[in-house]
Structure 1
Amino acid sequence: MDGSPAPDQFWAKLKYKNDDRSTGKIVEWHPLLAHSADVAAVTEALLQRTILRDRLAALIGWDELSDVHVARLSALAALHDAGKVNHGFQNRGHSTRPQAGHVRPIVDVLSTPSLQEKLLLPLGLGEMMSWFDGRKDPDHFLRATWAHHGEPVDSTRDQDTSLWEPDSRNPLDELKRLGEHVRSWFPDAFREGTPFPEGQSDFQHAFNGVLTLADWIGSGFPYADDREQNFLKRAQEIAEERLTKQAMLAKSYQESLETSVGFSGILKKEEWTPHPVQEIGLSHPVYEKGGLTVLESDTGSGKTEAAIARFFRLYQEKTVDGMYFAVPTRTAAKQLYMRVYETVQRVYERQDADPPPVVQAVPSYYKIDGVEGTPVAPFTVRWHDEEEEDEARERRWAAEGPKRYLAGAIVVGTIDQVLLSALQVRHAHMRGAALLRHFLVVDEVHASDVYMTRLLSAVLDHHLAAGGHAMLMSATLGTESRLRLTKKTVRDDDIPPPDEATQIGYPLVTHVSAERDDPTPKVTEPSGYRKDVLMTAERRADDPEAIARRAIDAAREGARVLIIRNLVEDCRRVQEAIENQLGAEASDLLLSIGDTPAPHHSRYADGDRKRLDAAIEQAFGEEDDDGNPIPIQGAIAVATQTVQMSLDISASLMMTDLCPVDVLLQRIGRLHRHDRSHPSGFEDPECIVLTPEERNLSSAIVRGGEKDGQGLKGGHGLGTVYSDLRVLDATWTLLEDEDLETWTIPDDNRRLVERGTHPHVLRDLVTEKMKNEPDDVAEAWDQHQNWVVGERTADAVSAKHVLLQRHKSFGHQQFGEDLEKVKTRLGQDNVRVEFSEPMPSPLPPNEGPSISALSIPEHLLRDRGEETVSLEDLEADDVQETDEGFCFIANEKRFRYVHLGLSRIEGK
């Protein structure tokens, strides 16, 4: 096209010069009919040639969707932008007034009787009525069709009817033209066929998700040059090409694996014999209508490989089109990503086939097929490799933004990306539909957070109802938690008492069909690797100098010492104490970037965090990038929870704050993780648990029983990071048990978890304190227990309030919960603070400005009692470079960023 072409037909998409609408200069436009065909063709491909066809059928209790039903849903998809014929929208292409959107006006037609017959009959709605059993279902499906921008839209009676009146353009003529094309594109839709059953709201929500996904994909199609061509045929050809490259059409990747993968196909050493727990997980039957596997086994027993092997079995049997592997933290996801990517590469190389793309689903960390990228504009990423952009663009599409992650083929990411598919947040339906394609794997499952557990349960309910497959993995899952995950309805008397629960075998595999009616766990033999960990509780949590001396002495004897604090502030205090004691020797023993020592926690810029991850893997890992063993030598890493899960690192000695026993066992998984030699004096693993000076956690309980953590000297996250003080006290009691001076892992895992988390144990603990402690202490514990029970109930109610109400007809539930509150509960409560000029990092190599933004936890941007800070981006003020780094002001609070990371300067 030449010049600045104004649309001479009804248009759907405009392209402005330099992609800048403010220029007002249109360089290209896409006809409404062409875009309608684009989205319809993608919808048709997704429903004809992916597992989504079976998933949607399962949601209405059918074995399959017929070609007629696929054609009907594709025809509805072709009508998704019918609202764009209104004058307010079309005026945007001609810089005239009035202007309007395209979703609200067409949805409003549903509550405007005078317009319904006038506008909807030309689209073919009269014939479409026979597609549905329910009288109201056409309304619900039209709402699901038109509200394709991320959330339901309610109709109002405040309709501007002039938007639809004929003038130089006639919207009615274009609606009729669109309806005629839909009939010609999808003639099967208008043939006889069983109507969709009445009131299947889950199905309506899922269809909206598929359509929204199709709209995202179809909106990236090239604009049509020929205004008279066969738009559907053109769109089908583009959809075939793009969906194949994106691996959403998985058939070619599934069939290129000509022989069974199994364990021998995924491991570096093909002759390796799988552990019993892995073999059982792989050999369990594949339920035709979906199933769930819960794998409880010790850290290092190969659960990750068990999940990958199970995935490839399902993938080859074409019961899934992909995998999403979810872990709790960004650090864990980045570490796990390379393991999964390398495994997928190995599997396909051994069968001489091209692998599907492997996406890293961690916001701000762009990675696919092992290649990193950098964002250069919204929805645009520059990839740092030699691939031709045109060749690789479609393959990398899913990696270029969080809303797309679940549309990837094989995806490794954080659990929050999964949970967002079940919440009342924009594009949840699209995420949910994309997730239905996958084998869902969730690692490090435990039940310390009722809110998160309820969200995960909602995801599983929908996933299994659609015939999906899932695996949950944990080294520390309590009996109550396992029952609630593997059984649809759990009564209190279903939960065995502690004595019985501690006798349940370990490792344990529970494999159930999607109905989850009769879970029957199966005990297996452990991996064979055991370690006897000497457990000591030392009241040093308040003494960073003593912690530093102990760590330095051990490191000088050749030990790799891992110190895990619950709070970033405590982490920094210990780091500073070690640096001060070591002086010039600090960079020799401490985790360092170049010659600059640094702790490992979450409050670093993205680039610095990447380098810290690489540094700790190099200092505490088993092999280097070339697969050679890393020599064990004296080293100290001071960290927070960022290192406790999914990282393949190994310490000779561990020092950790008191935490719940299930979390403590996760941390111990980083101690003597590899079966390798350790220096003299550290041949046997030892874990020192740092506790407060006073053996009285009741000082962290304030009036009404609420935890506070400020009553304890130093706090140390006892009552803040971990709010149920009963669990912490039970863990402390375990450490004081003379019969448990040594914990044998994994033999003692079941006993330890039940004695530290079982609800009966926790109630009995408080009962004993009420009998034996002074009145004020007894009353505090009684109030705290009541507060915990109330909070758990409130969390369950809160979770229910923010969940998608899929049991309600689409459009009859609006998103009422504030998005910021939802994000906060998911741990996404960081505020991005941007710098007008990039600042240099305090960590080497200091090669010029590299930090353009920092993520700051919302609570650091306000004082106690101040209102919650908006999660919108902020710009830093009064930015000043210093000898140690730089400082700045955000939301009237002053911060510094140095080699110790980000911290707030108190009182300023």
Structure 2
Amino acid sequence: MDVRELSERYGPVVVRALETLWGKSRERAGGATNLLLAHLVDTAAVAELLWDGFLARSTCLALDEVAGGPGRGRRLFVWLCGAHDCGKVTPAHQRLWPEGAEAVRRSGLTWVESAAVAGAKQQRRWRHDWAGGLITREVLAGAGWDVRQLDWVWPLVAGHHGAFPSLRDVQEPRHAKGQLRGRGTWRQVQQAVLDVFTQEIGFGGLGEVEPVVVPSRALQLQLSGLVVMADWIASDERFFVGVDDLRLVSLDASRERAASAWQALGLQGGWGALAVPGPEAFRDRFGYAPRPSQAMVGEAVRRMGSPGIVVVEAPMGEGKTEAAQSAAEVLAARFGADGVFVGMPTQATSDPMFTRTRRWLEAVDEHLASRVVLLHGKRAFNREWKALLEDAGAYADEAFCGVDEFGLEDDPYGVESEARDVPERRAPAEWFLGSKRGLLAPFVVGTIDQLLYAATRTRHVMLRMAGLAGKVVILDEVHACDVYMSQFLQEALRWLGQAGVPVLVLSATLAPAQRQALVEAYLAGAASREELRVQVPVPSGYPSVTAAWLPASGEPQIHMDATGSWREDLGVRVRIVPEAVPGAHRSRQERERLQGEADARVGDLLASELADGGTALVIRNSVARAQSLYEELRGRFGRDEVRLLHARFTVARRADLTEESLRLLGPRTPRPRDGRLILVATQLAEQSFDVDADLLVTDLAPVDLLLQRIGRLHRHEDTWRPDRLRVPQVFLTGFEPREGREPAFAFASEMIYGRHLLLRTAAVLPGAGEVWSVPGDVPEVVARVYGADASLLPQMWREAGEEACREQESRDRTRAENARQFLLTAPGEHEKRTLAGLHYGGSTAGSNEDSLQAAVRDGDESVEVVLVVREEDDAVFRTLAGRALSVNGEVAPEVLEEVLGSVVRLPPKLTQAAAQLQPLPGWHGHPWLRHSRALVLDASRRARLGDLTVSYDDEFGLRQE
């Protein structure tokens, strides 16, 4: 910058201040103070690269409209990103680094420290981000901006550290008496910093920056996330070493620094310009011509007049995933999306979808498969993900280096990584592997929780929404969302609808009320309305597609179609295996006796049905029931013929067991003609679990979940089966039919699902000699169970059914109300026009995975522990496999993977007792173990937790004794 010219324009006092005001301290800027103007211009240069090589076309077009026409959006975006730290032109910030504060005082800018301290104590959060919101609003008002434009721009500045305050919040604390904001010359310098920055990036003045259209709140939230992204990149001292000479500050110099950082980080967008694929693309991607239902989905998305929501309902094995992937290409090409997020119900279902998504994208373009990020808490144990990163010399879940030492209360950054120059990166950029940044990657596969987190009132929620906007969103198995999770799903759909994000929702068994709620939530968001009532017709067949969108002007449009399945219905014979259910007042011994009898009955059944060989899948509704049955079956059939799979194995063991189960019962595994295999599992095997069983035994569950389980039965037509198992059969247990009254249900089942749906499901079970035609009967059966017709229940059950219905309605209301305390938008505020005050009441849940998951899944925050062993006479801690750590538990690099693989999640009822657990002494300071609780087992692999004893072994997993 030309210091002489600046002096002539602003005077020497202001220029001395510009030469001194610091944005980053020497300690955080590579050893040299980074001037504030240097950081603003650096951030603007990064924003240019984001626009040119990262933003979706849909985002650029929307910003062009906001800025006043084609080609205008880029410079407005660059200005919004760069102006974020203008609040550092205040004593509130400049006083925080003693060395910098002294230099600022010498330049002529002063403050009364005692008043500043008093103000800071009065409002602890009033720092440079909130100060920037106040300054931006006042300075831009002075430049003649319309108040409607002021109102949406200042919250982007005030919220760039993760939370949006109200206008009242950003007012300077009264006790500060102007000594945090600054008086006199401070005001001139604040104006000058914004003026100089604005002109440096090419505007004639602040008045020229003013937008002409107020963007939607969803676009504002996306913009806010992109501002944070640009700031974090421009704060990396590896590439942006401090510039302490104002004469060296220029946009050209910052562009060179930004280009170097961009290349080293390997940041990339997604598809870029994508042509609408032709009819032949499906065969090119998946190797076969589209089935009728898949062609139907493709036709529906081609007919849509604008981005919308597409609900695809089809039976298990119909090819919904391929239909959605093909449709996503069409939607992305038509509406300018640049990537995809695929949300799955569980971590276990996310892993195989990661493989399928990479295979699909590789068929589109061989370079795209390397840009897919797997996003869930246990991805480090996915072999494909781990190999992908190791091949690129990266480290799973390594965080990006820190950003700002002042004004940030919860540090999300973690360990610092070294820069790597990777000319052609064959893995996702490491930048996306850090906390809260995964969704920003162009292609993401993860749990649906990642989308639900974007609907919570948590810090840095804007990063999550910025990651979803500009993509096509695919959500699989959405029927798995209960009434609590659905509050977050619908809130997310509102924001996605307003953002113009195309959404594909997949389900095999969707209740009509759930379909209605999903479509209405999306369209209400698209219309920026608190509520929007739309009549969503019931599909006329199965499989079906429902596409809904809101034209730029006009009423909501709904397209619905249905077709036949590509394969014939299965006639599934449903039989009941009664189980004596103990009453509430039975003794422990009596309950154990009845459980043993129930297990023996299932054992007898399997011995008979599998006499000639074959495979059986047994699904229990609780881990304890699965472990109990496995013990019975192991004694009868031996370990070689029985497997156990549930969620309370260590992560490494669970991954191995899941992989083995998919291999042994998968679609391409030859079956020995005289072999026998039984898999005992919990709900892990209920959905997106591609196994094929000859026989199914399952605890009773709500009908949609029950039908999901039946989807694992005779799944592949070319699988060999023994003669007696060629007719598909499902044996239902876990409940006790009772003469003249309603059935009794196993305690675990009733606690998980409630009596209401279990009663209505029991009422639709086929009678003796009858069959369910699957999938033909699926829509009607699901609609009956989830409907309101009281006559569905036999007369003798109705009184109990009415009571169960009242209990369920009361429980649902309570759970929905509980969810609202975490929702991003306050009730009645969906029509607000700006982000001001979005974080009303502060952040409602912690930012770590456990607390967020507890918030969106309505559960106590469960605890993960690392299992280690220490025998009574042993001086060192050991892994479960017996490898030595040390006296204090220090972990050698070659043992680290084994220790991390020994993580297991405790049942929620043990959370309070586990609060006493701490990391081992040798883990303090370790980047991955410093926050990990250790559960130390004795020689018998047992440990005491509160009043309970738990044990662990690789055969049964974690057990409570």
TM-score for the superposition, normalised by structure 2: 0.76
Cα 1:183–1:356 change in 2 (3 A) is farther
Instruction: Confirm or deny: 8 A CA contact 1:530 1:746 kept in the other structure.
Output: yes
The answer for the alignment partner of 1:105 in structure 2 is 127
Map Cα deviations across residues 524-563 of structure 1 (whole Å, 9 max, x no partner): 1212253222211211484122223433555563212111
Cα 1:505–1:375 change in 2 (3 A) is closer
- What aligned pairs does 1:392-431 form with structure 2 within 5 A after superposition? 392=425, 395-397=428-430, 399-401=432-434, 403-431=436-464
Letter in 2 for 1:141: V
Cα 1:876–1:128 change in 2 (3 A) is same
Instruction: Confirm or deny: 8 A CA contact 2:845 2:852 kept in the other structure.
Output: yes
Cα 1:652–1:566 change in 2 (3 A) is same
Instruction: Confirm or deny: 8 A CA contact 2:88 2:132 kept in the other structure.
Output: no
Tell me whether 1:764 sits opposite 2:801 in the alignment: no
- What aligned pairs does 1:525-536 form with structure 2 within 5 A after superposition? 525-536=564-575
The answer for the alignment partner of 1:485 in structure 2 is 518
Cα 1:177–1:194 change in 2 (3 A) is closer
Q: 2:622 and 2:746 mapped to 1: Cα distance?
A: 10
Cα 1:720–1:181 change in 2 (3 A) is same
Map Cα deviations across residues 861-903 of structure 1 (whole Å, 9 max, x no partner): 2579x999999997656723435xx334557754322124553
The answer for the alignment partner of 1:299 in structure 2 is 316
Give, in angstroms, the shift of residue 282 of structure 1.
1.5
Letter in 1 for 2:357: V
The answer for the alignment partner of 2:294 in structure 1 is 278
Instruction: Confirm or deny: 8 A CA contact 1:336 1:412 kept in the other structure.
Output: yes
Map Cα deviations across residues 710-745 of structure 1 (whole Å, 9 max, x no partner): xx6751x3222112x222112112224347x32222
The answer for the alignment partner of 1:882 in structure 2 is 939
The answer for the alignment partner of 2:648 in structure 1 is 603
Select 2:542's aligned residue among 499, 502, 506. 506
The answer for the alignment partner of 2:225 in structure 1 is 209
> How many corresponding residue pairs?
827
Tell me whether 1:833 sits opposite 2:865 in the alignment: yes
Select 1:617's aligned residue among 648, 653, 662. 662
The answer for the alignment partner of 1:54 in structure 2 is 58
Instruction: Confirm or deny: 8 A CA contact 2:456 2:824 kept in the other structure.
Output: yes
Give, in angstroms, the shift of residue 27 of structure 1.
4.6
Cα 1:251–1:899 change in 2 (3 A) is closer
Secondary structure of the corresponding residue to residue 751 of structure 2: coil
Tell me whether 1:730 sits opposite 2:760 in the alignment: yes
Give, in angstroms, the shift of residue 644 of structure 1.
1.4
The answer for the alignment partner of 2:773 in structure 1 is 744
Letter in 2 for 1:298: P
Cα 1:479–1:151 change in 2 (3 A) is same
Q: 1:174 and 1:193 mapped to 2: Cα distance?
A: 17
Instruction: Confirm or deny: 8 A CA contact 1:698 1:781 kept in the other structure.
Output: no
Give, in angstroms, the shift of residue 659 of structure 1.
0.4
Instruction: Confirm or deny: 8 A CA contact 2:87 2:128 kept in the other structure.
Output: yes
Instruction: Confirm or deny: 8 A CA contact 2:200 2:250 kept in the other structure.
Output: no
Tell me whether 1:590 sits opposite 2:642 in the alignment: yes
Instruction: Confirm or deny: 8 A CA contact 1:645 1:667 kept in the other structure.
Output: yes
Give, in angstroms, the shift of residue 85 of structure 1.
4.0
Structure 2 portions without partners, runs of 5+: 1-17, 102-112, 402-413, 525-530, 581-594, 869-875, 886-893, 920-928
The answer for the alignment partner of 2:170 in structure 1 is 155
Instruction: Confirm or deny: 8 A CA contact 2:67 2:213 kept in the other structure.
Output: no
Q: 1:28 and 1:679 mapped to 2: Cα distance?
A: 76
Instruction: Confirm or deny: 8 A CA contact 2:129 2:160 kept in the other structure.
Output: no
Map Cα deviations across residues 261-294 of structure 1 (whole Å, 9 max, x no partner): 7211211x3xx22111101212332645312211
Cα 1:189–1:861 change in 2 (3 A) is farther
Q: 2:856 and 2:190 mapped to 1: Cα distance?
A: 45
**Segment drifting more, 219-228 vs 169-178:** 169-178
Instruction: Confirm or deny: 8 A CA contact 1:654 1:686 kept in the other structure.
Output: yes
- What aligned pairs does 1:839-854 form with structure 2 within 5 A after superposition? 839-841=878-880, 850-852=898-900, 854=903
**Segment drifting more, 210-219 vs 185-194:** 185-194
- What aligned pairs does 1:690-709 form with structure 2 within 5 A after superposition? 690-695=733-738
The answer for the alignment partner of 1:36 in structure 2 is 40
TM-score for the superposition, normalised by structure 1: 0.80
Secondary structure of the corresponding residue to residue 753 of structure 2: coil
Cα 1:426–1:888 change in 2 (3 A) is farther
Give, in angstroms, the shift of residue 523 of structure 1.
1.2
Instruction: Confirm or deny: 8 A CA contact 1:422 1:804 kept in the other structure.
Output: yes
Q: 1:491 and 1:868 mapped to 2: Cα distance?
A: 49
Tell me whether 1:342 sits opposite 2:359 in the alignment: yes
Map Cα deviations across residues 304-332 of structure 1 (whole Å, 9 max, x no partner): 11111112233444621001111101100
Secondary structure of the corresponding residue to residue 403 of structure 1: coil
Instruction: Confirm or deny: 8 A CA contact 1:537 1:735 kept in the other structure.
Output: no
Select 2:722's aligned residue among 679, 696, 706. 679
Letter in 2 for 1:646: S
Identity, in percent, stands at 23
Give, in angstroms, the shift of residue 683 of structure 1.
1.6
Map Cα deviations across residues 100-128 of structure 1 (whole Å, 9 max, x no partner): 899732455489xxxx6xx659x953565
Cα 1:486–1:569 change in 2 (3 A) is same
Q: 1:870 and 1:815 mapped to 2: Cα distance?
A: 34
Give, in angstroms, the shift of residue 431 of structure 1.
0.7
Give, in angstroms, the shift of residue 623 of structure 1.
3.0
Cα 1:258–1:563 change in 2 (3 A) is closer
Map Cα deviations across residues 326-361 of structure 1 (whole Å, 9 max, x no partner): 110110001111111122223324xxx665611111
Tell me whether 1:559 sits opposite 2:618 in the alignment: no
Q: 2:611 and 2:154 mapped to 1: Cα distance?
A: 70
**Segment drifting more, 549-558 vs 422-431:** 549-558
The answer for the alignment partner of 1:721 in structure 2 is 752
Letter in 2 for 1:176: A
Q: 1:129 and 1:698 mapped to 2: Cα distance?
A: 76
- What aligned pairs does 1:63-462 form with structure 2 within 5 A after superposition? 66-87=70-91, 89-90=93-94, 93-94=97-98, 104-106=126-128, 109=131, 125-126=140-141, 128-130=143-145, 132-134=146-148, 137-153=149-165, 154-155=169-170, 157-158=172-173, 160=176, 161-163=178-180, 173=189, 176-177=192-193, 179-187=195-203, 190=206, 192=208, 195-197=211-213, 201-220=217-236, 222-224=239-241, 227=245, 228-229=247-248, 231-236=250-255, 248-250=268-270, 254=274, 262-267=281-286, 269=287, 272-284=288-300, 285=302, 287=304, 289-317=306-334, 319-349=336-366, 355=369, 357-366=371-380, 368=385, 371=388, 375=396, 378-379=399-400, 392=425, 395-397=428-430, 399-401=432-434, 403-446=436-479, 449-462=482-495
Instruction: Confirm or deny: 8 A CA contact 1:842 1:899 kept in the other structure.
Output: no
The answer for the alignment partner of 1:804 in structure 2 is 824
Give, in angstroms, the shift of residue 240 of structure 1.
6.1
Cα 1:258–1:533 change in 2 (3 A) is closer
Select 1:856's aligned residue among 905, 915, 918. 905
Letter in 2 for 1:182: T
- What aligned pairs does 1:633-712 form with structure 2 within 5 A after superposition? 633-675=675-717, 676-695=719-738
Cα 1:322–1:69 change in 2 (3 A) is closer
Cα 1:843–1:299 change in 2 (3 A) is farther
Instruction: Confirm or deny: 8 A CA contact 1:697 1:729 kept in the other structure.
Output: no
Q: What value does the CA root-mean-square deviation take over the aligned residues?
A: 4.5
Give, in angstroms, the shift of residue 440 of structure 1.
0.6
Instruction: Confirm or deny: 8 A CA contact 1:164 1:172 kept in the other structure.
Output: no
Letter in 1 for 2:708: Q
Letter in 2 for 1:468: V
**Segment drifting more, 207-216 vs 95-104:** 95-104
